[in-house]
Amino acid sequence: MTVLQPFVWGRSMADHFLKIRGLEKSYAMGVIKVLNGLDLTMTSKDRLVVIGPSGGGKSTLLRCIMGLENIAAGAIDINGEPYIGADNGATRIDRRIQKQIGMVFQSYTLFPHLNVLKNLTLAPVRSRGVPRSVAEDRAREIMRRFGLDQKLTAYPSELSGGQKQRVAIARALMLDPKLMLFDEVTSALDPELVSEVIAMIIELADGGMPMMIVTHDMWFARRIATRVVFCAGGTIAEDAPPEEFFARPTSQRARDFINNVLHANAEPA
């Protein structure tokens, strides 16, 4: 099976697309607990925006779902299949399922020694056995779709921050992911470059891509989310549709957070 053919997830189970149970993660030999028995489910129709104070575990949550972290306890299932589990201190990861998930990071992660086309085709060609010509055709198609086809032979150092992040998203799309994770992808960008990246993510969302987004941009959160979850103290403190969440947060912590953020947005220092 090549990655270019659509992967068929389990037939039913749409409401258990992603199911996280009792996820625990700590650093420094268990001294610092970042995730504290976190439970979360997501359907394949969901676009989940994760917001919350820094240190609350948002990024760690995404990194755990991507399989970048060892977990202390808990499990993640995808479509009813066990994906990640803790097993006597070891973390079991089903690599086959991991390959169906794409992630884009806050810092620029394009490989600087490869041009854009090579960045896009590296994983399909070297890791998934897609013929180079097929992968390059797909790269051109994706880049054209997002208006980046002028940049195929450019090196990452020749791109703006916004272009780098858009290429990073395109690189993840090359592998035909069934779930996209965005970890503060606009936080490192100059303000005038944010909108082009957000536009690309919105276009993906409109195409029906399930996604989980960590962001501090409340406008973006409101625009794209089908659900907003408030992550603080290593658990989900609140989980609601965006209208409801921003209008009437039920927990005190979420209320404080929103007040602070909206206040900061209204009156920039």
Partner 1 sequence: MQNLDYFFIIQAWPLFLKGLWVTLYLTFWANVAGLIGGALLALCTTGPYRLLSAPAKLYIEFFRCTPALVQIVWFFFCVPILFDVFWSPIFMGVVILGMNLSAFNAEAFRAAIQTIPRAHVDAAVALGLTPFERTAYVIMPQALRYAIPVLITNGIGLFQQTSLVALVGVDELMYNGRLISTSTYRPIETYTFLVLFYLAVSIPIGRLAAFIEARSDRALKA
Positions touching partner 1 (CB under 8 A) are 63, 66-68, 95, 98-99, 101-103, 105, 107-109, 111-113, 122-123, 126-128, 155-157, 168, 171-172, 175
Query: C-alpha distances in angstroms, 48 versus 139, 150, 227, 268?
Result: 27, 32, 5, 27
What residue has token string 């755990």?
A: 64
Query: Tell me, what amino acid is at 165?
Result: Q
Q: Nearest distance from residue 127's CB to partner 1, in Å?
A: 5
The residue among 190 and 243 lying less far from partner 1, judged by its C-beta, is 190
The residue among 94 and 239 lying less far from partner 1, judged by its C-beta, is 94
Q: Nearest distance from residue 157's CB to partner 1, in Å?
A: 4
Q: Nearest distance from residue 109's CB to partner 1, in Å?
A: 4
Secondary structure of residue 200 in the 3-state scheme: helix
The residue among 124 and 242 lying less far from partner 1, judged by its C-beta, is 124
The residue among 64 and 237 lying less far from partner 1, judged by its C-beta, is 64
The residue among 175 and 213 lying less far from partner 1, judged by its C-beta, is 175
Query: C-alpha distances in angstroms, 251 versus 52, 62, 151, 245, 256?
Result: 12, 23, 46, 10, 9
The residue among 11 and 95 lying less far from partner 1, judged by its C-beta, is 95
Q: Are 245 and 254 in contact (CB under 8 A)?
A: yes
Written as six digits, the tokens of 134 are: 């097929």
Written as six digits, the tokens of 220 are: 């973006």
Give the strand pairing for 211-214 and 47-51.
parallel
Give the strand pairing for 81-87 and 90-93.
antiparallel
Q: Where are the alpha helices (DSSP H) in the chain?
A: 58-66, 95-98, 116-122, 128, 132-145, 161-173, 191-206, 218-224, 242-247, 252-266
The residue among 18 and 172 lying less far from partner 1, judged by its C-beta, is 172
Q: Nearest distance from residue 178's CB to partner 1, in Å?
A: 13
Q: Nearest distance from residue 28's CB to partner 1, in Å?
A: 17
Q: Nearest distance from residue 111's CB to partner 1, in Å?
A: 6
Q: Nearest distance from residue 87's CB to partner 1, in Å?
A: 18
Query: Tell me, what amino acid is at 29?
Result: M
Is residue 238 within a helix (H) or strand (E), and if so which, with residue range? strand 235-240
Residue 149: how many CA atoms within 13 Å on its side-chain side?
11
Q: How far is CA 249 from the centre of its chain?
A: 24
